[in-house]
């Protein structure tokens, strides 16, 4: 899944895979870090700084310049995700939102409240899109009764990239 | 005007104030009333606040514009909503929040006990004096402090009710009743006769505490049902105007696992504690639960069932109330920006050393006492003091010169009380009658201190902030390295370090007093109290079972000089190990504890091997009670969600066929059997035929447990070909 070529200002890209595109997004962060500043907002503890550092080292010896361009913040509740997005300034560099919906599946938060907060988050994402590309990674919903949240994000996205989980072939059952 | 002195047992909200229960010095139980108003606050966009004001004007509340302090944002213009109906504040707040979800709300979900304590300074289970006009309290003043080391014992009347078996497995036939030294049983065959007897007992004894087994999940709901069916009125509350408060069972995700909390039944005017549904009751009992209630301000019934984290949250709320700081309903404070390098540097836990694998003699274990809370207090680490920019410089750890933060303020008395209790305990003779009570109280406080660090970073903590969480671990790593350097400078070998403890060794050092100088030096260097856990005659640090070259930091066992054992991470500590394996592993370790040196340890191996062979023979001959072979495992998800069912899921399916229902987080017991699915649920009515028991599998479990013990020496002596 190559996300880099489709990135452009004014475009919201949703990437839906079984693991919230963990490896792909780390590779993308490293690639973008080589080119300029990147904002990373992590909603599901998906950011792997060591993996990003490894990707960077494959491209350059001294990674400090690129590493200093990667600015990350984490959200642990959907309220925090909303605050993160609303406090992120509109800058002309890419913004990656990792596992945006993870905190919205929290059963301490009512479905209505999750819906309200997501609406607010999507509004903020629209603002960010105006100044730079925004990529949102999404794994399958954690709660069946809240899968409409995923649909809502995908509806707003300009492009939805889907990578289905590889299907295992038939296996020979063991005799003993 | 009348006056009364006594202990405050309970506080709860009413529609026109609060009710207090006082156990007086002349052994009376007084139900007292008190006028009490409660206030919560809303802040945010002024146009929204104006709409909210108009909405609330129709309700029976007092509205006021005022300025209050938010811990992170400082002074805020807020709308204060005051009601004289504390019982309905949740409804009032719920309605308002639904209408105006975008406002920030404060102080809306503070438990009534905390509001009362913050206002009156009278703490739960504390002594107080009241001036009364009839049943109405005119004034109330505290006569004791929750931080007193030796509180006056409360003369509680305790009635214990236990069924003769687990009601989830089979129908109980009798209820055992215990009051003081008297014990008797009531037959459950006739609900009518049983209810009449129990009602008479309740009226005669008038207990302050009904202590039950399965009271939440079976006894109290059953009593209510029988009372309705037979028409015999049975009110278990001392407050006749109240019904039993029931709460539904639920499953929740905490500390990396799904936990099941059974239904609950709370009483008014007296307490009900179900020992089988009280989170840590087994560890510190009633004394511990009462100690936690005393210092946290949460009622005994609640505290016994809740996690220590709820206690810490309550303490933070109380401190905030006392310092005129608002408690947000939803924390909005977020992590600051970090570059990749900053994140890699900051996002670490405690320091864990790779231990030196093998058996070591004369090793001292020294522990920092309550290390993380001590760091938080000493270095003023609190969400509002960490990560602030002062004079253009961002501070990554607490600001020692800043005013004391909310978290250190809440923790300081708790930490001091626990250290004092520990000091008293260390001076007492182990046979002293006060030891058990003091131990339970110290353990209860310890659990509050254990979780307080996690609540700095916990997502739902009211005053959490990830930077303060990181600051504590960063400081702890620094202190551990300082301690290591001090030890090495003094000629010690550091064998292992694990978060807050060090294992050190030096030739010729074997008495506790040999390590005093080292401990003094570490304490002087770090400023955190340190204590000698003990000197091991021998201690074994284990290797990974997959790769013998890799040490496992959290698995070790050893024998102290007094012959007592300490073991961590081995089968004996695991809840899913059968009693049979645990018993034999413990016996083996007890036998090895007679060894004074690693060499003597090796000499005792044949004796232990004989013990194991005898145990296996007993198993094959059917001489081991089946109850000792039961395995207990927890369901991590719903039964249907298992793609490859675990043994526990197989057992659950067996029981499901007999009508039992399971929720994620519930534990269930089973035996390993030689049948199609490999297990036999313990709760099934039909007993497992002994011939069907999977003895080979149990022997494998035993071999594995014994391998753990022998590995440190066998890897050097000979290959594992013993079984």
Identify the residue among B45, B310, B334 best suited for mutation to test binding to A, counting A beta carbons within 10 A and taking the highest. Answer: B334
Chain B residues 83-102 with a CB less than 8 Å from chain A: 101
Chain B's closest residue to A67, CA to CA, is: B340
Q: How many CA atoms does the CB half-sphere of B417 hold within 13 Å?
A: 26
Q: At residue B647, what are phi and psi to the nearest 5 degrees? A: -55, -40
The pLDDT assigned to A1 comes to 66
pLDDT band at B6 (very low <50, low <70, confident <90, very high): very high
Poorest-pLDDT segment among B316-320, B456-460, B702-706: B456-460
Alpha carbon separation from B484 to B364, B496, B511, B617 (Å, rounded):
13, 10, 20, 48
> Which of the pair, B481 or B663, is modelled with greater confidence?
B481
Across the interface, of B333, B337, B459, the residue whose CB is closest to A71 is: B337
The pLDDT assigned to B412 comes to 96
Residue A120: partners with Cβ closer than 8 Å, 6 or more residues away = A82, A86
C-alpha distance from A7 to closest chain B C-alpha (Å) = 22
Chain centroid offset of residue B169 CA: 27
C-alpha distance from B64 to closest chain A C-alpha (Å) = 27
Query: How many other C-beta atoms are found inside a 10 Å radius of the C-beta of residue B634?
Result: 17
Whether B254 shows a pLDDT value over 70: the answer reads no
C-alpha distance from B330 to closest chain A C-alpha (Å) = 7
Give the start-to-end residue ranges of the domains of chain B: 158-305, 346-569, 623-692
User: Which residue(s) pair with B250 in the sheet?
Assistant: B261
The pLDDT assigned to B452 comes to 92
A163 SS3 class: strand
Instruction: Kindly tell me the sign of the dihedral angle through the C-alpha atoms of B161, B166, B167, B173.
Output: negative
- CB contact under 8 Å between B101 and A116, yes or no, is yes
Burial class (CB in 10 A: 0-12, 13-18, 19+), B689: exposed
The pLDDT assigned to B711 comes to 87
The pLDDT assigned to B391 comes to 46
Q: In what order do the strands lie in the sheet with B631-634?
A: B631-634, B667-672, B679-681
Whether B397 shows a pLDDT value over 60: the answer reads no
C-alpha distance from A75 to closest chain B C-alpha (Å) = 7
* pLDDT tens digits, B497-522: 999 999 999 999 999 999 999 999 99
Burial class (CB in 10 A: 0-12, 13-18, 19+), A55: buried
For residues B363 and B514, what is the distance between their CA atoms, to the nearest angstrom? 11
Please report the domains of chain A, with CATH numbers, ordered by start residue: 4-163 (3.40.50.300)
Residue B561 φ/ψ region, left for φ over 0, alpha for ψ in the -120 to 50 degree band, beta for the rest:
alpha
The pLDDT assigned to B395 comes to 47
pLDDT band at B230 (very low <50, low <70, confident <90, very high): very high
A106 SS3 class: coil
Chain A residues 101-160 with a CB less than 8 Å from chain B: 103, 107-108, 113, 116
- CB contact under 8 Å between B344 and A84, yes or no, is no
- Strand B501-505 to strand B493-498: parallel, antiparallel, or no bridges (unpaired)? antiparallel
In terms of DSSP H, where are the helices of B490-552? 516-526
CB A134 within 8 A of CB A94: yes
Closest CA to A49 of A22, A89, A85, A13: A22
pTM assigned to the model: 0.88
For residues A101 and A138, what is the distance between their CA atoms, to the nearest angstrom? 7
Across the interface, of A68, A73, A103, the residue whose CB is closest to B335 is: A73
The mean predicted confidence, pLDDT, of chain B is 91
Please calculate the CA angle B514-B519-B522 and round it to the nearest 5 degrees: 145
CB A70 within 8 A of CB A33: yes
Whether A167 shows a pLDDT value over 70: the answer reads no
C-alpha distance from A2 to closest chain B C-alpha (Å) = 23
B241 SS3 class: coil
Task: Output the CATH code of domain B623-692.
Answer: 3.40.1820.20
* pLDDT tens digits, B151-191: 999 999 999 999 998 887 788 999 999 998 899 999 999 99
The pLDDT assigned to B643 comes to 82
Across the interface, of A49, A69, A87, the residue whose CB is closest to B334 is: A87
pLDDT band at B145 (very low <50, low <70, confident <90, very high): very high
Closest CA to B342 of A40, A58, A27: A40
Q: What percent of chain B has pLDDT over 90?
A: 75
Token representation of residue A52: 């990003």
Q: ipTM of this predicted complex? A: 0.90
The pLDDT assigned to B24 comes to 96
C-alpha distance from A48 to closest chain B C-alpha (Å) = 9
* pLDDT tens digits, B193-215: 999 999 999 999 999 999 999 99
Token representation of residue B233: 């009125």
- CB contact under 8 Å between A108 and B460, yes or no, is yes
Alpha carbon separation from B595 to B511, B565, B707 (Å, rounded):
17, 12, 18
Poorest-pLDDT segment among A135-144, B369-378, B524-533: A135-144
- CB contact under 8 Å between A77 and B339, yes or no, is no
Poorest-pLDDT segment among B86-90, B261-265, B338-342, B590-594: B261-265
pLDDT band at B255 (very low <50, low <70, confident <90, very high): low
User: Which residue(s) pair with B504 in the sheet?
Assistant: B364, B494
Q: How many CA atoms does the CB half-sphere of B326 hold within 13 Å?
A: 28
* pLDDT tens digits, B602-638: 899 999 999 999 999 999 999 999 999 999 998 888 8
For residues B305 and B250, what is the distance between their CA atoms, to the nearest angstrom? 13
- Is the CATH number 1.10.10.350 carried by domain B158-305? no
Q: Is the CB of B332 inside 8 Å of chain A's CB atoms? A: yes
On chain B, the residues whose CB falls within 8 A of the CB of A72 are: 337-340, 343
Token representation of residue B389: 């920019």
Domain B158-305 and domain B623-692, same fold? Reply is no
The pLDDT assigned to B613 comes to 95
- CB contact under 8 Å between A67 and B340, yes or no, is yes
A123 SS3 class: helix
Alpha carbon separation from B307 to B231, B240, B289 (Å, rounded):
38, 30, 11
In this prediction, residues B544-553 reach a mean pLDDT of 89
In this prediction, residues B295-315 reach a mean pLDDT of 93
* pLDDT tens digits, B320-342: 999 999 999 988 788 999 999 99
- Class assignment of domain B346-569? alpha beta
- CB contact under 8 Å between A83 and B332, yes or no, is yes
- CB contact under 8 Å between B334 and A80, yes or no, is yes
- CB contact under 8 Å between A73 and B334, yes or no, is yes
* pLDDT tens digits, A18-62: 887 788 889 999 999 999 999 999 999 899 999 999 999 999 989
Identify the residue among A80, A105, A114 best suited for mutation to test binding to B, counting B beta carbons within 10 A and taking the highest. Answer: A80
């Amino acid at each position: 899944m190559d996300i880099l070529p489709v990135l452009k200002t004014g475009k919201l890209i949703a990437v839906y895979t079984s693991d919230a595109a963990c490896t792909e997004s780390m590779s993308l962060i490293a690639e973008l870090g080589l080119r300029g500043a990147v904002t990373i907002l992590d909603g599901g503890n998906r950011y792997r700084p060591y993996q990003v550092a490894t990707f960077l080292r494959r491209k350059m010896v001294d990674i400090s310049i690129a590493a200093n361009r990667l600015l990350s913040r984490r959200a642990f509740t959907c309220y925090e995700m909303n605050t993160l997005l609303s406090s992120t300034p509109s800058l002309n560099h890419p913004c990656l939102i990792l596992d945006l919906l993870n905190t919205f599946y929290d059963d301490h938060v009512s479905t209505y409240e999750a819906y309200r907060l997501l609406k607010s988050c999507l509004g903020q994402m629209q603002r960010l899109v105006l100044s730079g590309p925004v990529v949102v990674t999404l794994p399958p919903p954690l709660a069946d009764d809240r899968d409409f949240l995923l649909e809502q994000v995908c509806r707003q996205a300009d492009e939805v990239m889907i990578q289905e989980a590889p299907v295992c072939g038939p296996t020979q059952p063991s005799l003993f | 005007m009348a006056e009364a002195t006594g202990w405050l047992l309970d506080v709860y909200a009413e529609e026109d104030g609060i009710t207090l229960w006082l156990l007086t010095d002349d052994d009376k139980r007084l139900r007292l009333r008190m006028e009490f108003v409660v206030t919560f606050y809303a802040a945010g966009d002024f146009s929204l606040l104006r709409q909210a004001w108009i909405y609330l004007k129709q309700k029976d509340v007092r509205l006021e514009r005022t300025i209050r302090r938010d811990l992170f944002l400082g002074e805020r213009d807020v709308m204060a909503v005051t009601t004289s109906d504390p019982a309905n504040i949740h409804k009032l707040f719920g309605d308002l929040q639904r209408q105006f979800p975008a406002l920030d709300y404060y102080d809306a979900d503070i438990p009534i006990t905390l509001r009362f304590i913050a206002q009156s300074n009278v703490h739960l289970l504390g002594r107080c004096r009241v001036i009364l006009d009839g049943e109405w309290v005119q004034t109330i003043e505290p006569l004791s402090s929750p931080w007193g080391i030796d509180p006056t014992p409360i003369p509680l009347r305790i009635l214990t009710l236990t069924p003769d078996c687990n009601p989830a497995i089979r129908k109980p036939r009798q209820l055992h009743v215990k009051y003081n030294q008297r014990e008797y049983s009531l037959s459950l065959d006739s609900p009518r006769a049983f209810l009449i007897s129990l009602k008479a007992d309740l009226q005669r004894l008038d207990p302050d505490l009904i202590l039950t087994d399965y009271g939440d999940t079976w006894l109290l709901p059953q009593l209510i049902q029988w009372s309705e069916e037979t028409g015999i009125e049975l009110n278990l509350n001392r407050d006749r105007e109240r019904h039993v408060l029931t709460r539904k069972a639920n499953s929740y995700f905490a500390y990396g696992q799904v936990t099941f909390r059974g239904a609950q039944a709370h009483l008014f005017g007296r307490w009900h504690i179900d020992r089988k549904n009280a989170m840590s009751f087994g560890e510190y009992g009633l004394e511990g639960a009462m100690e936690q209630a005393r210092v946290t301000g949460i009622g005994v019934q609640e505290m016994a069932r809740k996690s220590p984290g709820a206690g810490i949250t309550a303490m933070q709320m109380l401190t905030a109330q006392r310092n005129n700081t608002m408690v947000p309903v939803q924390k909005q404070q977020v992590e600051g920006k970090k570059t990749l390098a900053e994140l890699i540097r900051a996002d670490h836990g405690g320091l864990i050393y790779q231990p030196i694998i093998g058996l070591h003699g004369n090793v001292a274990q020294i522990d920092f006492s309550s290390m993380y809370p001590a760091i938080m207090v000493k270095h003023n680490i609190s969400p509002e003091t960490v990560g602030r920019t002062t004079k253009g410089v961002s501070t990554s750890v607490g600001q020692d010169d800043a005013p004391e933060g909310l978290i250190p303020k809440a923790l300081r008395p708790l930490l001091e009380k626990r250290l004092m209790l520990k000091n008293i305990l260390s001076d007492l003779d182990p046979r002293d009658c006060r030891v058990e009570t003091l131990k339970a109280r110290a353990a209860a406080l310890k659990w509050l201190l254990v979780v307080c660090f996690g609540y700095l970073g916990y997502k739902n903590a009211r005053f959490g902030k990830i930077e303060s969480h990181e600051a504590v671990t960063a400081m702890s790593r620094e202190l551990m390295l300082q301690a290591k350097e001090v030890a090495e400078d003094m000629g010690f070998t550091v064998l292992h370090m694990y978060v807050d403890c060090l294992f050190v060794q030096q030739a010729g050092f074997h008495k506790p007093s040999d390590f005093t100088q080292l401990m003094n030096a570490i304490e002087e260097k770090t400023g955190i109290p340190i204590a000698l856990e003990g000197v091991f005659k021998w201690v074994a640090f284990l290797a990974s079972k997959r790769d013998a070259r890799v040490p496992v930091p959290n698995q070790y066992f050893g024998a102290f000089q007094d012959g007592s054992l300490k073991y961590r991470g081995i089968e004996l500590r695991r809840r899913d190990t059968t009693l049979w394996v645990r018993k034999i592993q413990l016996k083996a370790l007890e036998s090895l504890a007679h060894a004074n040196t690693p060499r003597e340890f090796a000499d005792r191996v044949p004796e232990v091997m004989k013990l194991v062979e005898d145990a296996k023979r007993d198993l094959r001959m059917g001489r081991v009670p089946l109850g000792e072979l039961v395995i207990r495992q927890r369901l991590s998800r719903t039964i249907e969600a298992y793609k490859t069912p675990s043994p526990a899921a197989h057992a659950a399916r067996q029981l499901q066929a007999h009508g039992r229902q399971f929720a994620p987080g519930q534990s269930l017991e089973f035996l390993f059997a030689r049948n199609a699915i490999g297990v036999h649920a313990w709760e099934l009515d039909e007993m497992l035929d002994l011939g069907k028991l999977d003895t080979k599998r149990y022997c494998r479990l035993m071999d594995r447990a014994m391998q753990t013990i022998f590995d440190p020496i066998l890897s050097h002596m000979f290959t594992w070909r013993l079984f």
